[in-house]
Chains A and B, each alone.
Chain A
Amino acid sequence: MKKKMMSLLMVGAMAVGMLAGCGGVKTDSEAASEAAGGNGKADTATEAATGKNAYSDEIKIGFLPNVIGDSCAAAWAEGMESYLGNFSNVTFNVFDGKASVDTENTIMEQMINENYDAIILQATDAAGLAASTDKAEAAGIPVITCNLDADTVHTGLVAGVDTEAGQQIAERIGESLGGKGKVVIISATPGATKGENIDKGFKEVLKEKYPDIEILDEQSGEWLTENANTVMNDFLTKYQDIDAVLCHNDAMAEGAAEAAKAANKEIQIWGVDGESKMLDYIEQGLCTGTVYTDCQKQGAACAQFCMYAIGSGITAKNLSATPVVKMAPIVVTKENLSEITEDMRW
């Protein structure tokens, strides 16, 4: 009985398999490029070639962050709005990626269908959004990735500092500890690109320049303050002397700081991002430092990149590799905290 049903369904699946086999099947990007070039939507194609008038033509730009609700996304959006707000002809929409590859792909597809003129994307997963990025580019829509890029050639990446951040922090810790000491890492959710990059950078430098600094342990705080707090507590119970902590983002650094404070231990605590709350923590001496990125600037940069691409009509077609704009990695500690003025804080 059951088996019969199975076989039945099998047949169904097979039928589709056949369909797939007998040609005519195109992957997204193929289909998209076909649509963009030649049949039907010649106009968009030609526009894509010559670009639009950045001041007069109707322009639609969409921003799709990994997840809405955290300070980075907010700051980016703010930056973009503040720049694009000057263009009366530009409409700008923010979406929520819900930290889900599926959701981001869905929204990407929809923006493509609605002929957005440019998409700013923070890819939840580099590999997972490569396909829809290709599709967009193929359809003549420039994709500018913000912080987390897609694993394919696209119009531009405004890179957040992750690998560099890791390296910088390693340097600082190395110096301050005089090349000798014990470090723990509170890492991102397993599999998160940003976290991996920070880790890479950090570990490289330690390995090359400070071999005597020992990484005691590494546990995930899943980006969350409260979890980092828990993890830190466990580290403190397990290891008598910890000299420094690397957290893959500020939120976790804050959590770790609370834990350290509660156990009143003097430990260097480093985060990445530089959100205003973290800066307060540094000011109060709860955290040692962070690698500050001016997210509003970064957002603005993305927006500018978009307008440039739209104006020039450049898409991945015209590129062999993704052009990258790097944000300056500013290491912030108590000393240079003042350099980050109010209007730079987010």
Chain B
Amino acid sequence: MPALLEMKEIEKSFNGSPVLKKVNFSVEPGEVHALMGENGAGKSTLIKILTGIYPKDGGQIYWNGEPVSVEHRKDAASLGIGVIYQELSLIPTLTVMQNVMLGKEQSKFGFVNARKMKQKVAGLIEKYGFHVRADEVVETLTIAQRQTVEILKALSEESRLIIMDEPTASLSAKESDALFGIIEQLRRDGVSVIYISHRLEEVYRLSDRLTVLRDGVTEAVLAKEQIIPADVVRLMIGKELSEATASNNLRTSDAPVRLKVGNLCKKGVFHDISFEIHKGEIVGFAGLVGAGRTEVMRCIYGADPYDSGTVEFEGKPLAKQITKNIANGFGFVPEDRRNQGFTPLLSIEKNVALTNYDTLAAGGFVKAAAEKKLGVEMVGRLAIKPGDSQIPVGNLSGGNQQKAVLAKWLSRGLKLLIIDEPTAGIDIGAKDEIYKILENLAENGTSVIMVSSDLQELLRVSQRIVVMRKGEIFTEFASGRITQEDVLMAESGILTSGAKGGAPQGEAGTVAKEGGTNG
């Protein structure tokens, strides 16, 4: 019996640089096949090729042994491949039923046959025991329920294969369990699942097989019994790389404390967050998507309100106002660059100036010369290309946009810079430059909080690494040299010998039980 899906020697390269090098990947009917790999290992590219979003450069896809070509999303759907996207793609104001059947309504003369459709959807819900009703309006559902709707959508297309990309990112423990239940259901029903996740324990618990990608090559395909988190991590990172990218000696700076956060809580988002940042140190915040890192930082910065807890800056309780914090020497580089980072229509110069009018203006009037000078200076200092401070930031490349956003803050005397995913979607060259920038910021006494999902970057830049998990601080690496494995394990709730400090004593190499975290 042929595999349900077989991808042979898939190749893909973006402007010259190969992303997938002859990748092989296969899924048996009714198996849950985990796909793992570091950011940039090529997972998403592979999936995009499978779902017809990217054309492949080489290789062949077989479906039930038959060679098939997937040019469009439609092709994938017609084959029976369903995808549950990370950012859910539902219509909030429509009902579950309408969403599930959207674009494929059963209708006569344009009139939809609600009864029939409802039967169908209700039937599916029945069958899989989902906790939604066909006539509920989606916007009134919880995230988990919405996800089940997405799954319904896939199932309603008689999908034989459902791709889930970080499905538990924003789910609570119980909700995740429910999802796993559903996945079991699917498996029993002969539906195959490609499960993409960084969460080792989930993979460990769910998957029948596991394919590890690294730098665009199939590193290993493991059968259930072979799946041991530690090994998987090692495979994902690779021995030599793991050594090469190991951190410098982590250390807790003895410089005075600059930021002190105590028992910060926000209902349903994070709780009991406590940490200190010293003068001139770079502290990395690691964690998986949905661990609550970004939310914490936004609250500290004053962008969002929090429920309880204390934030002290240089000994004084911190205002909850952005403007005051900026005056105190805060800087904030948000995760969502395009929507929160800059004003695309405005020139670099004016974007940079936006945070500097306290010095660039007198009596409400802009000192145009000084403004221009600063713009030019920052463009030079950060080597923003093209080197013209008059160009709208919207027209720059990702890397240069990020530099422009940084320029906003670097132009000020910063005491604390919070930077969220500093290098997301940025090419290697620009990455290095940004790291350099951060490093010599620290040397000049600025404290830097760096939230990142890029382990290499965390290890390379940070002096300490705090690992968050499910809205809590899971552990902190404050000494010794650690490798990506240590961090990756911790992110998934597994403590290795690397972990120091007040971290809970999870048994090394095994999966920490749900909620076994420091409460």
Contacts and interface: CB of A to CB of B under 8 A. Distances in A.
A25 interface: no
Interface string B97-111: 000000000000110
A5 B111 CA distance: 10
A189 B110 CA distance: 48
4 contacts: A1-B110, A4-B109, A4-B110, A5-B110
A208 to B, nearest CB: 66
Contacts of B110: 1, 4-5
Interface in A1-53: 1, 4-5
A197 B364 CA distance: 59
A1 B109 CA distance: 8
A248 B122 CA distance: 73
B200 to A, nearest CB: 50
A231 to B, nearest CB: 41
A247 B110 CA distance: 60
Interface in B108-148: 109-110
A1 B110 CA distance: 6
Contacts of A5: 110
A4 B110 CA distance: 8
Contacts of B109: 4
B151 to A, nearest CB: 29
Q: How large is the interface on B (under 10, 10 to 19, 20 to 34, 35 or more residues)?
A: under 10
A4 B109 CA distance: 7
Contacts, number: 4
Q: How large is the interface on A (under 10, 10 to 19, 20 to 34, 35 or more residues)?
A: under 10
Nearest to B107: A1
B64 to A, nearest CB: 35
A121 B110 CA distance: 51
A11 to B, nearest CB: 12
Nearest to B110: A4
Contacts of A4: 109-110
Interface in B407-430: none
A300 to B, nearest CB: 61
Interface in A42-91: none
A1 B108 CA distance: 11
A68 to B, nearest CB: 44
A308 B239 CA distance: 111
B210 to A, nearest CB: 47
A4 B107 CA distance: 13
Interface string B435-446: 000000000000
Nearest to B111: A4
In the A-B complex, the 4 residue pairs with the closest CB atoms: A4-B110, A1-B110, A4-B109, A5-B110
A5 B109 CA distance: 10
Nearest to A4: B110
B105 to A, nearest CB: 12
Nearest to A7: B109
Interface string B22-53: 00000000000000000000000000000000
Nearest to B109: A4
A144 to B, nearest CB: 55
A208 B321 CA distance: 82
B15 to A, nearest CB: 41
A27 B109 CA distance: 38
Nearest to A2: B110
B417 to A, nearest CB: 54
Contacts of A1: 110
A4 B112 CA distance: 13
Interface string B69-112: 00000000000000000000000000000000000000001100
A4 B111 CA distance: 10
Interface string A245-281: 0000000000000000000000000000000000000
A241 B458 CA distance: 86
A5 B107 CA distance: 14
A5 to B, nearest CB: 7
A344 B379 CA distance: 77
B65 to A, nearest CB: 39
Nearest to A5: B110
B109 to A, nearest CB: 6
Interface in A192-218: none
A209 to B, nearest CB: 67
A245 B119 CA distance: 79
B466 to A, nearest CB: 56
B110 to A, nearest CB: 5
A224 B337 CA distance: 53
A240 to B, nearest CB: 49
A5 B110 CA distance: 8
A199 B109 CA distance: 59
A10 to B, nearest CB: 14
A274 to B, nearest CB: 53
B267 to A, nearest CB: 47
B111 to A, nearest CB: 9
A162 to B, nearest CB: 56
A12 to B, nearest CB: 15
Nearest to A8: B110
A309 B110 CA distance: 60
Interface string B490-516: 000000000000000000000000000
Nearest to A1: B110
A312 B109 CA distance: 64
